[in-house]
Structure 1
């Protein structure tokens, strides 16, 4: 299961973001993050499958629909494989400054 730790404008996600986690988080996706969140820090994600990647992009989409920007930063090594595989470099950046 994934956990979300809010630290100002950065929310750190840790744990497992797989299909089972996405199913349990889906109904709360609009209220998981503070409205002023600017960065999702992903370095502590231990495992992420395609459902997890889709969930992250859904969170970005929710913020975009509100006219806000949510950046995905510091992808874990395992998550970087999906970024390359699905050519998602435009959605992920290396570090939150």
Structure 2
């Protein structure tokens, strides 16, 4: 299961972000993050599959529809491998600035 911890404008995502977790979070995707969220810090994600990446990109899309830029920052080592494998570098930022 994934956990979303809000710390001001940054939300720290930890745990597992897999297909089963995404199914349980999907209906709440529009309200899972505080409106002032500017970045999702992903360093504490233990495991993420393609459904998890799609969910993260869906959150970015929801914010973009509101005219807000939501950044995906500091991906975990496991997530970095996934990003490289599927050439998703344009969507993720190495370190939070």
Consecutive unaligned residues in structure 2, runs of 5 or more? none
Q: What is the CA–CA distance in structure 2 between the aligned matches of 1:44 and 1:53, rounded to whole Å?
A: 14
Structure-2 residue corresponding to 1:7: 7
* Moved >2 Å (runs of 4+): none
> How many residues align structurally?
97
Q: Quick check: 1:38 aligned with 2:38?
A: yes
Q: What is the CA–CA distance in structure 2 between the aligned matches of 1:85 and 1:64, rounded to whole Å?
A: 25
TM-score calculated relative to the size of structure 1: 0.98
Q: Quick check: 1:57 aligned with 2:50?
A: no
Consecutive unaligned residues in structure 1, runs of 5 or more? none
Q: Which string of whole-angstrom CA distances, capped at 9 and with x for unpartnered residues, describes residues 13-59 of structure 1?
A: 00000000000000000000011100000000000000000000000
Q: Which string of whole-angstrom CA distances, capped at 9 and with x for unpartnered residues, describes residues 67-87 of structure 1?
A: 000000000000001111111
TM-score calculated relative to the size of structure 2: 0.98
Q: CA RMSD in A?
A: 0.5
